Every structure is written in C-alpha cells, then in structure tokens.
Structure 1
Amino acid sequence: MRILHTSDWHLGQHFMGKTRQAEHRAWCDWLVQTVVEQQADALIIAGDIFDTGTPPSYAREQYNRFIVQMQATGCQLLILAGNHDSVAMLNESKDLLAQLNTQVISSVAENLDQQVLVVKQRNGQVGAIVCAIPFIRPRDVQRSQAGQSAEDKQSDLQQAIAEHYAQLFAKAEAKRAQLGVNVPIIGTGHLTTVGVSLTESVREIYVGSLTAFPTDAFPAFDYLALGHIHRPQKVAGLEHIRYSGSPIALSFDESKQQKELLQVDLDANGLQRVAVLEIPCFQRLISLSGSLAQLQKQCAELAGQLDPDAVAWLEIQVQVDDYYSDLDERVAALCADLPVEVLRVRRLRGNKIAGLTRNSGEVLAELSPDEVFTKRLHDEELSDAEIEVLKGLHAQVLESLQETEA
C-alpha cells in the first residue's frame, strides 16, 4: 500500500499583497504527475486546504480542478479539514466529490463510523483502514463547565481529544476484524504536538486551552499523517508520526526549507518505509539581514545566484543604530540591478539604544518627563509632523495629570 502525505496548502493565500495562484497551480500539476509516477494508492491532505473560510473563487476553482485531475489517476483522495478551513464550505461539495473517488472529512461526525475509511489498492484489494480525523474544534468533543480554571479546560480538552482518537482506533480494529484482512491502520490529525518546531506563519489554534498534544496519547497507528505545522519533521524522532509541512513557503522564515511530500509504504506488517520526495521551488523567497554594508555585500553575492528570468521575492532586515530617513531609497539602490521584488523592509534595533541615558551618564530619575519623552521620540522612525502631533498629545496628558494631582 502506497500513501502520499501532504498538508497545509493554504489555497487563496495572499502574501504581502502577492497572490500564490501561480505557485499553487504549479504545485498541483507537479503533484498529479508525481501520483502517476509513483503509482500511489491514496493521497492524504491533512488539513488547511484553504487559507481562509471564505477563499476567493480562483482558489475554489483550483481545488475542483485538482480533484478532477486526481480522479483520472485512479488514486483515492482523502481531504481533512484544518483550522483555516470552513466546515460548511467543504460540505457543500462533499457528496458530489464522493463520486470522484474523493472523501472529505470536514469535522467530527456524530456517527464516528463515518470517520473510519477503508482505502483500497489499485488492484481493488483493501490496503489500509484510515481513522480520518480533521481539526478537532473544542465544541465537537468538549462541554464547557461553569467555574473551570484554564488548567482544567486544557486538561479536559486534551483528554477529550485523546478519547476521540482511542474510540476511532477501536472502531478501526473492529472494522479490520469484520473484513477479515490484516492491513495497517493509519491515523490523521491537524494539531500541534509536543516538541515540534514552528514557523511564524503557524497560527495558534487552541488559544487559552490546549497548547500541544502529547505524543504518547496517540493510539498505536502504523502511520500518523499530521498537518498544521509547516516545517516537515518527525514527531519525537518517531519514524511513523510525521508532519509533511506545507508544499510552498508561507512565510520568509520558511524560505530556506526544502519542502517535502512524504511517500509512505505499508503492508500487513505495518510501516515499511517513509521516503521524502523533494518538492520543487515554484517561487523563490529570500531573506537578507545585516547592516547596510553587510547587505551591500550580500546583494553582490546574490547577483550570481539568481535566475534573471524569475523574479524572487525579497525581505530585507536592516540592523541599524542610527535613524535613516531615506532607508527605503538605500535598500532600493542595493537591489536595483537584481531580478527581485522587495516585499518587506524591516528595521532591526541595534545596540545603540540599550537605554535612554547610557552615553550621557544620566539616570532616569534625573530627567524630567519632557526630557524622557523627547529622547524616546528621537529613537523612533517618525516624520516631523508625527513628532509634533505626539508632543501635543504628551503635553495634554501631563496637563491632565497635573490637574488631577492639584
């Protein structure tokens, strides 16, 4: 049995004003070709197929186009909802897509048998049983109780999620016994587990409650296909519990990652092999950081590494101690001859502003409120007009306080 595991496509994402439509189309075309080449029996998308609950029309079109392409390959498609996905939107076409060899699991079902799926090999024989578990919303498995502390709510949610996994695993074992076949049991999930490495584009999904799910609370799946974390990785060093990561870089701190599609081979004895298939880069993202002098050198080195026919998206992080009113112009000059588009310029604080009074030998107690405010304004990136407005507001606050004290 050969499974391909992916997640976190985020169709419809806008990245600093840029659409990812071309990248997602290229990714889907590459994936369909890979499914054919590897003769995969099933493809699992472990959540966040869309970037928002109301994706733009072109993202929905890409979704439907991909499913039609997949149907022609003979590979079964399993789509699990993530925290970004809309349950209602995925359910709109769920029954129709079932006729195209595609199973969509958008939420925890009232009848848990609907989440236990039998996956067949291309020859028609049963190849695996899948516990199809999407992003679990607290309201799906947990009842709130008056007077609970935050710690109690976290503990209860963790226990409820663990029980949901255990119930489905038991049903999968019963289904396997009923069919009289010795096949592996695969699990899915869309959540954060203990000890994983995050990126800046990953959103907290259980705010104020569950932070990370313990690995030992999962049942004994032969393979567990996880989503939500964009960096591909094993969980707790275990070969059979994996995050596939996102197929494209969704933030600049993912720009140096090699994105992966996981090829999972199983048989009656369980997991045999997990092979990493490297995904091509469809849009290059580059992040440079340093002083202006260092950035000038980095840009010169970058010139020989770029494809002149493909514009890269660039983030510049400038480490400065002094205020430059023309910083954007300086950055533009550094990149003028490069096939890049600067999407973000960030000013990083240097060591000069470690305190308001370090160089003068003054202490804060010796300064008046006006002097502290003036020194603080000097360190900010503000226009003369903005400074005057803030000075006026500051004066009003001081006057109000003085009247209160009087």
Structure 2
Amino acid sequence: MKILHTADWHIGKRLHKHYLYEDFNLFIQWLCKLVSDEKIEVILVSGDVFDLANPSAEARKQYYQTLVTLKNLNCRLIITGGNHDSPSMLDAPKGLLSALQMDVIGGLPKNMEDCIIPLPHNENPKVVIAALPYLRDADVRLANEGNTYEERLAAIRKGIQTKFDEAAEICQEKYPQIPALAMGHLYAAGVSTSESERDIQIGNQAAFKAEQFNSYFSYVALGHIHQPQRINAQIPTFYSGSPLMLSFSERKDEKRVLLLDTENGFEPKSIPIPSFRKLLKLKGNLAELKLKLTDLKFEENLATLVEVEMQEEHYSTQKLADLDELVSNFNQENVEIIKHRAHFKNQQLQSSEVFGAQQNLADLEPKEVFESLLKNEAFSDEEKQELLHTFDELKEMQHTSD
C-alpha cells in the first residue's frame, strides 16, 4: 500500500499580510499529479490544516475544494487536527466526509478506538492507522496532577505517552500481525524549528522524547515542526515539514512529502516539492540595499517576496525616511517588499521609537510581546516560568473556544 505523509498545510496563512492561497493551489496541483503518477492510495495530513482556528470563508472554500479534488483521484484521506485548528470546526462535517471515505479527527475523541483506522477496510486490512490529533493539556493531564511547573510538564509528557500506548494496544488487540502507523502533532525533543511555529502547549518545554513512542508502531508520521527532519528513535519517525515556506526562516528549506510503500518496508522516500515562489531577505546599509533591489530578478511561478533590513551604524531619522521612501517607490514587476525594518548598531532607541520605526506590532506573535514585557519586570525566573505557563494555557483556551 502506498501512503503519503504530509502535514502543516496552514490554509489561509498570511506571510506579513500576504496571503498564500496561490501557493497552496500550486502545491495541490503538483500533489494531484504525484498521486496519479505514483498511484498513491492514502494521504496522511498530520495536523494544522488551517492557519487559524476560525478560518476565513476563502480558506474553508480552498480546504473543501482540495478534498473534492483528491477524492476524484480515488485517494483515501486521513486528516488530524493540529494546535492551529479548531477541533469542533474540523469535526463538524465528519459524518459527511466519512461517507466519502475521508477520515477527519479534529480533537481527541472520548473513545480512543475512534482514532484507529484500518486500511483499506475492516474486513481485510493491510495496515492500521492510529490517527491521534494534537493532544491538548486537558487531554493528557488530570486537574490534580502536578503542583509545580516541572511536575506539570512531566505530567503532560507522561499523558502523551499514555495516549500513544493506548492506541498501540488497541491496534495490537484488534488487528494483530497488521502493521500499525501512528500520526501525531507535537514537539519532539531535539528538533530544529523555524519562526513560524506557534507555542501553545506550555511552550516547547514539554518536548516529548522520541524514545517514548510505542515500539509497536512501524512508522510515526508527525506534524507541527515545519522543517523536514527525521527524529532519532527506535522506529522510523519523521516530520514531513510544511509544503510551503511559511516564514523567511524557511526560505532555504527543501520542502517535501514522504512516500511509504508498505510492501517494501517503512523507510519513506523523500519527494521534493518544487519551489513556487522565492523568498529573499536583504540586509545592508541604505546604499547596499538600493543596489540589491535594483539587481533583483523574477525567477519563480509567483511573485518574489522580499524582507528588507537596513543596517546602519548610527541612528538617523533621515535614514529611516529614506528607507520608507525606497520601499514606497519600489516598483518591479513580480517582486514585492512585504516587510522592512531598520537596525542601528550604536544607539538603543526608546520603546516607542522601536515599535514606531523598526518593528510593526502586527508582525509579532502575542507571546513575543508578552516575553518582551517580562524581561523588564522584576520577577524571579520561576515566577516568569509560571506566568509564561499561564499565558500558554490562556492561548490554548482561546484556540479551542468556538
């Protein structure tokens, strides 16, 4: 059986207010050709289908159009929710999609058996999928577990392991001798991350150790980390990575999907995704930036997106005005500057100047703002950790509320 592992689609993503709908459409066109050429039977999407818990009408439309397109290829789809997704929103059309041979598990169901999916069917399965969505704090930790910060982290790690162990036991009991694959959406210890991952579950300090995955599984298909990578574990454990570049820190990543042919084992084949657009990050003083912008050339299917950082020795309001003018007057076909900022080496600006001249508050994640505020407060390290923990719990409540 040929199974494709992908994750972190982030439909509706904005890169500094620039929507990536066109990028995603090109990815799906490429994916459909791959499914057809390779005769892929199953696609696993390991979480973060959407970028926001309450996606726009356009993002939802793109999602359902994608499902229809893939259904027309007679390809089975198994989708799990991620930390960006609303479980109830993903689960709402569950009955309808199930009738179309599409399995969507937005949030952890009360009965773990509802996460276990035999393929191609119950009667004569070739493989069984333990499709676990993103496990939220309430899914894995009892209210009375852990009084200190470290105890709560340990309780979360233990709770995640317990859920995967429970899924493995069901697979072994109900489908003995049938290879089992697990899907997960979590942060594994030791991985490399990019700017676009969002910390929800008590930050990344509750990192799950890969050796805790149940060895009964033949393969673990992970989502949440956007950089494609293999995890050091007893069994093949991989992050497919996101199919699109979701931040400028990912501009050098080789995006990919992973293809399993269970007839040949459980080591996946990495299939690179073509680049649909170029992301550029330009740095230098004002004169250097003018030259670099003049030399830009359009190379990809979609417009090149540029982030500009002016680096000067001394603070100058005139240089800031010149940078704004340079960006405002920049007009090159198929090239767009979507973010610019300034950095002065020899002067620390007041906070009002920093936000006004160098940093657009809309470009910051809420946690980045909160962490910056904490740095200036006279709290102990332990108190700061407790406040960060409370902040993360409040953020998770916001993402799970409808």
TM-score (normalizing by structure 1): 0.80
Deviations 1:186-214 (A, max 9, x none): 01110110111111110112126853111
In the other structure, the counterpart of 1:326 is 321
Task: Determine whether 1:236 maps to 2:228.
Answer: no
Q: How many residues were matched structurally?
A: 352
RMSD of aligned residue pairs (Cα, Å): 2.7
Task: Determine whether 1:184 maps to 2:179.
Answer: yes
Amino acid at match of 1:211: A
In the other structure, the counterpart of 2:246 is 250
Q: Describe the shift of the 1:379–1:321 C-alpha distance in structure 2 as closer, same or farther (beyond 3 A).
A: farther
In the other structure, the counterpart of 2:344 is 349
The question of whether the paired residues in 1 share the 8 Å contact of 2:242 and 2:255 is answered with yes
Offset, 1:113? 0.9
CA distance in 1, matches of 2:351, 2:246: 35
CA distance in 2, matches of 1:22, 1:12: 10
Unaligned 5+ segments in structure 2 are 358-402
Amino acid at match of 2:279: L
Query: What does 1:143-162 align with in structure 2 at a 5 Å threshold?
Result: 143-145=142-144, 148-162=147-161
In the other structure, the counterpart of 2:392 is none
CA distance in 2, matches of 1:129, 1:261: 20
Query: What does 1:185-224 align with in structure 2 at a 5 Å threshold?
Result: 185-207=180-202, 210-220=205-215, 221-224=217-220
Query: What does 1:165-180 align with in structure 2 at a 5 Å threshold?
Result: 165-177=164-176
User: Which stretch of structure 1 is more off in the superposition, 125-134 or 336-345?
Assistant: 336-345
Q: Greater relative contact order (Cα 8 A, min sep 6): structure 1 or 2?
A: 2
CA distance in 2, matches of 1:377, 1:129: 55
Give the match's secondary structure for 1:325. helix
User: Which stretch of structure 1 is more off in the superposition, 220-229 or 22-31?
Assistant: 22-31
The sequence identity of aligned pairs, in percent, is 29
- Say which one has the larger Rg: 1
The question of whether the paired residues in 2 share the 8 Å contact of 1:76 and 1:119 is answered with no
Offset, 1:6? 0.7
Deviations 1:142-191 (A, max 9, x none): 112287001111111110110111111111111222xxxx4321011101
Q: Describe the shift of the 1:276–1:146 C-alpha distance in structure 2 as closer, same or farther (beyond 3 A).
A: closer
In the other structure, the counterpart of 1:66 is 66
Q: Describe the shift of the 1:381–1:331 C-alpha distance in structure 2 as closer, same or farther (beyond 3 A).
A: farther
The question of whether the paired residues in 2 share the 8 Å contact of 1:158 and 1:210 is answered with no
Amino acid at match of 1:327: D
Q: Describe the shift of the 1:197–1:176 C-alpha distance in structure 2 as closer, same or farther (beyond 3 A).
A: same
CA distance in 2, matches of 1:75, 1:336: 44
Amino acid at match of 1:341: E
Amino acid at match of 2:120: K
The question of whether the paired residues in 2 share the 8 Å contact of 1:353 and 1:379 is answered with no
The question of whether the paired residues in 1 share the 8 Å contact of 2:187 and 2:204 is answered with no
Task: Determine whether 1:132 maps to 2:131.
Answer: yes
In the other structure, the counterpart of 2:40 is 40
Offset, 1:126? 2.3
- Return structure 1 stretches of 4+ with deviation > 4 angstroms: 333-338, 375-383
Give the match's secondary structure for 1:242. strand
In the other structure, the counterpart of 1:107 is 107
Give the match's secondary structure for 1:104. strand
TM-score (normalizing by structure 2): 0.80
Unaligned 5+ segments in structure 1 are 355-374, 384-406
CA distance in 2, matches of 1:146, 1:82: 24
In the other structure, the counterpart of 1:391 is none
Q: Describe the shift of the 1:86–1:95 C-alpha distance in structure 2 as closer, same or farther (beyond 3 A).
A: same
CA distance in 2, matches of 1:170, 1:161: 14
CA distance in 2, matches of 1:330, 1:291: 15
User: Which stretch of structure 1 is more off in the superposition, 332-341 or 183-192?
Assistant: 332-341
Offset, 1:297? 4.4
Give the match's secondary structure for 1:212. coil
The question of whether the paired residues in 2 share the 8 Å contact of 1:3 and 1:44 is answered with yes
CA distance in 1, matches of 2:354, 2:56: 38
Amino acid at match of 2:128: I
In the other structure, the counterpart of 2:363 is none
Amino acid at match of 1:66: T
Q: Describe the shift of the 1:129–1:291 C-alpha distance in structure 2 as closer, same or farther (beyond 3 A).
A: same
